[in-house]
Chain A
Amino acid sequence: MSTTATAASIDGIREAIQKGETTAAAVTEIYGSRIAGEDPRIHAFLSVDREYALAQAARIDRIAAKGEPLPKLAGVPFGIKDVLTLEGFAATAGSKILEGYRPPYTATAVRRLAAAGAVFLGKLNCDEFAMGSSNENSAYGPVYNPHALDRVPGGSSGGSAAAVAAGMAVATLGTDTGGSIRQPASFCGVVGVLPTYGRVSRYGLIAFASSLDRIGPLAANVRDAATVLGVIAGHDVMDATSSPLPVPDYTAALDRSVKGMKLGVPAEYFAEGLDDEVRAAIEAGIEKLRAAGAEIRPISLPHTRYAIPTYYVIATAEASSNLARFDGVRYGLRAPQSDTLAAMYRRTRDLGFGAEVKRRILLGTYVLSHGYYDAYYRKAQQVRRLLTEDFLRAFREVDAILTPTAPTPAFKIGEKSDDPVAMYLADIYTVTASLAGICGVSVPCGKSRAGLPIGMQILGRHFDEATIFRVGQAVESL
């Protein structure tokens, strides 16, 4: 096995261990020392547990030593976003209010990775409760973009994207509520998958906005991302919204040509506000897909401009309900020395939550309140349907939709942190798929003159991840 940062693939690692060319323990040590060397300047990991990882690796090496076939993700070094639970491991959700909390159960997606032989190196930094687009909202400090240390890695799964980009993990799990996998994947030059709502169980995910939250993989290439999704996808009795639809082999059709596929390009995603270099990179990518035989069709998704306001009403409303559980009674932080229960609630939340989380709880409570519910929350739910119908109509004409993932490459740390609306606009091309429940993937598609990665977003029909992976593979090989 090569020790260079990008050469190791999931299949390559498993095969090398199977053939006895290396061991899972050796692979784990290589990545452990990379974390020790790189992460002091990146800050992608919130916790690492070398002993635990080596114990997982030892199990793989015992199977390999017996010559028995290895499971799909055997010996593959993973990182897990810290909003997902692993029994006995700290799960902070990037918040002080969960400092020291050790969940007594494991998320379904994490459990499925472990069952497939993955090795967990540690838990990954993120915006507090996954609320943010830059990772600057983590209570434990920002993550720095491996491509430019003065820039953000994107968010909220900033640690998940940066860890892959810096070669500190082969793949990671992130979560995406309004763009939190795809946008950091774009900023860090990796592949990030938003699975269809219901494709991956949310059991064990610390909830932000339950009708939007999704778990998905980040990896260095489309094939690895597709492999990981195949492992974590599928019905789970612990999540009533998880789909009973069978999980196809996402890697089976990856290399099929895009010849004859109909790919839509929505005018609304190339309008005012799109950075010139991003536009040029995405248009060049689209031209190469056309040259490869795809039929490129202009389409319209007319309600796109209403997506951000719709998202910030629905997501904050759901967050205000979900985060009510953090009350200092059952787990996590409790503010000391309060005379009454009400004072304890108040002081715990005041101490435990950061500014953006407080902002969203207040906004969400307001839009749900009597007298404002119809004007804000109900209105946003109605517009959510219009946005979704835009996509359903488009997918009668095209097989997938091509857009930029984000309007700009990675911005500077501190650049938008004083202006919430400007920060929210970083998600302008990603929140639409979140609201509609469709699937998407961000795939690297060129770089800016300054060397910053640019991502193309490929959106697909509900439960049609196979198609977006196929297009993504074509973009990757352009």
Chain B
Amino acid sequence: MRRDLNAILDYVAQLGELDTAQVEPMAQVSEVLASPGDASSEKVSVLRDDEVRPCLNREQVMASAPETDGVFFKVPKVIER
């Protein structure tokens, strides 16, 4: 694992060759879609209205839990006495 990770990091190091001092980081594709002149000038990310909507019920969710009392997820002890 150590050998693999070192090999990957050595490979990734070539990004250092590029001068990016004047380049804004790009986290999301929507950042480039909003620019004029692109095929789509409409905004891509749309937030939905903040309203209460149906959600999974507790029974459905707890059916997947490794350990539960039906109300809460149970886990090994967190705090030492």
User: Please, which residues of chain B bring their CB within 8 A of the CB of A244?
Assistant: 42, 46
Q: Measured between C-beta atoms, what is the minimum distance from A345 to chain B in Å?
A: 9
B64 in complex: contacting residue of A102, A243, A383, CB < 8 Å: A102
Q: Is the CB of A104 within 8 A of B1?
A: no
Task: Bits for A356-384, please: 1 = Cβ < 8 Å to B, else 0.
Answer: 00110011001100000001101111111
User: Please, which residues of chain B bring their CB within 8 A of the CB of A343?
Assistant: 76
Q: Measured between C-beta atoms, what is the minimum distance from A419 to chain B in Å?
A: 8
User: Please, which residues of chain B bring their CB within 8 A of the CB of A383?
Assistant: 15, 18, 20, 23
Task: Bits for A101-115, please: 1 = Cβ < 8 Å to B, else 0.
Answer: 111110000000000
Counting chain A residues whose Cβ lies within 8 A of the other chain, the interface size class is 35 or more
Q: Measured between C-beta atoms, what is the minimum distance from A117 to chain B in Å?
A: 26
Q: How many A-B residue pairs have CB under 8 A?
A: 161
User: Please, which residues of chain B bring their CB within 8 A of the CB of A32?
Assistant: none
Cα distance, A363 to B2, chains bound together (Å): 11
User: Please, which residues of chain A bring their CB within 8 A of the CB of B15?
Assistant: 306, 309-310, 313, 376, 379-380, 383
Q: Is the CB of B33 within 8 A of A437?
A: yes
A363 in complex: contacting residue of B5, B30, B76, CB < 8 Å: B5
Interface hits, B43-65 → A, CB 8 Å: 44-48, 56, 60-61, 63-65
Query: Interface residues, chain A, CB within 8 Å of chain B?
Result: 101-105, 197-198, 211, 235, 237, 240-241, 243-245, 303, 305-306, 308-310, 312-313, 328-334, 338-341, 343-344, 355, 358-359, 362-363, 366-367, 375-376, 378-386, 388-389, 392, 395-396, 419-421, 424, 436-437, 461-464
Query: Interface residues, chain B, CB within 8 Å of chain A?
Result: 1, 4-5, 7-9, 11-16, 18, 20, 23-30, 32-33, 35, 37-40, 42, 44-48, 56, 60-61, 63-67, 73, 75-78
Q: A313-B15, A382-B18, A420-B4 are in contact. List 18 more A-B contacts (CB 8 A).
A: A105-B56, A237-B48, A240-B47, A244-B42, A245-B40, A305-B14, A306-B18, A313-B12, A333-B66, A338-B76, A362-B1, A363-B9, A381-B27, A382-B24, A383-B15, A388-B32, A396-B37, A421-B11
